[in-house]
A and B are shown apart, each in its own frame.
Chain A
Amino acid sequence: MTNLFRSISKFDFAVLSFVALTCFALTAGAVESVGQDTVAWWVWPLALFVTCFFLGIVAVPSGVGGGVLFVPIVGGFFPFHLDFVRGAGLLVALASALAAGPSLLRGGLANLRLALPLAVLASASSIVGAMVGLAIPANIVQISLGLTILGIVILMSLAKKSEFPEVPAPDRLSTILSMNGIFHDAARNQKINWHVHRTPLGLTLFLGIGFLAGMFGMGAGWANVPVLNLLMGAPLKVSAGTSSFILTLVDSSAAWIYLNKGAVLAIIAVPSIIGMMLGATIGARLLHVLKASVVRKMVITLLLFAGVRALLKGLGIWL
């Protein structure tokens, strides 16, 4: 009976979060279409806070960063210009990564030697991405964002994961950089030695990932993890932890560009950051209760909807 109750409540909770998120997005869209002159200024930051709170809850169990959900959903359904949404999106992703970074590093789930070389390239390219994103017309950014989000939906639907990928031998570059480590797997209660391969290709892909992160103001966990895990062969948990840590460097360099450009408004960024962090805290606690696969499917559906919305908004079909 208790199990049944637990089973119902976790499903209900996941559905409730999803429905609440969709309702807020649609309400925001509806209010926007009515005209914002009739709405008090504080409604928007409050709606943003609540939306980000629910985004934070579903972001952790679904395994995606908050930034990738934030930009298409807030950009599509709130009245803020995309320039400010992207600036806030980077800060949301940065704040989440900063909050998680210390425990990931101390627990060995993030590895400094693996992260730094990749993060240097990605943060340099994120600056270029941010500059390009702020230089090109908003509708082009919207269209590119929509296509990228739809690409992420496909990646999330198809990508496989490997808990402990087989790495026959480390490559020369990773050996020189000592990109290896020991990971304590609590589930197995054993220490696992790991190393990586295909480092030059990994570095090249991180250049592209950084560019996209800067251009669209999204965290790039959705791309970091597959490259670290499937391509370079780092264990899944190390990949996820290191990916989050890499974002602290990548998103901060891109965030500076938005900040210096004047594209960061505290009224948009701060409620988003606080809402997302509070939601992520609850999401992390619910990690063992919620069924991750169900939440993941809901997030994919939500992203699909937001991606189509961004694309149509950019094309001028659904404004």
Chain B
Amino acid sequence: MKDNSHISVEQQRYATMLNWGGRSGLAILIVSFLAYVMGWLPAHVALDQLPNVWTLPVDEYLKQTGSPTGWAWLSRLGEGDFAGLFGIAWLSGATLLCLLSVMPIYAKRRDFVFVIICIIALLVQVLAASGMLHSGH
């Protein structure tokens, strides 16, 4: 049996959460993508029309297809193209749970520097995910 006594408790917990988040995200991604390309879910932009629009800059693509931005896709999970985004968002958000899970360990050890680092990392992720930051061509 491999000796991992030199690996900290928080690192092992982070690994467990990351493993869970990554695997579940991938499973969601594959299932939702199959539903999309097999036609089990209707597509907002028809698959055979995609070659006409995926060459466009994102702003032009959004204008021509009437696709939503920010979190608006969440209310349209019944459409295959947006169902696929759920798995992607899950993968992107996997680290949030990991950070939350190790904070109590640092706090219990009174390692407040790393509690603060975790909080800043969380805030950065939440800010990025919030959709409040805008940019465009």
Interface residue A252 (Cβ < 8 Å from any Cβ of B): yes
Point out the residues of chain A lying under 8 angstroms from B118, CB to CB.
116
Contacting A at CB under 8 A, from B5-49, are 6-8, 10-12, 14-16, 18-19, 21-22, 25-26, 29-30, 32-33, 36-37, 47-48
Q: What are the interface flags for A31-46 relative to B under an 8 Å C-beta threshold, 1 for contact and 0 otherwise? A: 0000011011110110
**Interface extent on B, as a size class?**
35 or more
Distance in Å: Cβ of A214 to nearest Cβ of chain B: 10
Point out the residues of chain A lying under 8 angstroms from B48, CB to CB.
40-41
Given contacts A41-B47, A266-B33, whether A249 and B95 have CB atoms under 8 Å apart is yes
A183 to B57, CA, bound (A): 46
User: Is B88 a contact partner of A248 (Cβ separation < 8 A)?
Assistant: no
Distance in Å: Cβ of B20 to nearest Cβ of chain A: 9
Point out the residues of chain B lying under 8 angstroms from A117, CB to CB.
117
Interface residue B128 (Cβ < 8 Å from any Cβ of A): yes
User: Is B58 a contact partner of A263 (Cβ separation < 8 A)?
Assistant: yes
User: Is B22 a contact partner of A83 (Cβ separation < 8 A)?
Assistant: no
User: Is B58 a contact partner of A261 (Cβ separation < 8 A)?
Assistant: yes
Interface segment out of the listed A123-131, A216-224, A297-305: A123-131
Least CB separation from B122: chain A residue: A120
Contacting A at CB under 8 A, from B59-107, are 61-62, 67-71, 80-81, 83-85, 87-89, 91-95, 102
Given contacts A134-B137, A254-B128, whether A266 and B81 have CB atoms under 8 Å apart is yes
Q: What are the interface flags for B111-137 relative to A under an 8 Å C-beta threshold, 1 for contact and 0 otherwise? A: 001100110110011011101011111
Point out the residues of chain A lying under 8 angstroms from B102, CB to CB.
112
A127 to B124, CA, bound (A): 9
- Given A40-B48, A134-B137, 11 extra CB contacts under 8 A: A39-B51, A79-B55, A95-B91, A105-B11, A116-B117, A124-B124, A182-B6, A252-B128, A257-B133, A262-B61, A263-B58
A-B contact list, 9 entries, CB within 8 Å: A39-B51, A84-B58, A113-B114, A120-B120, A177-B113, A260-B133, A261-B134, A266-B80, A270-B29
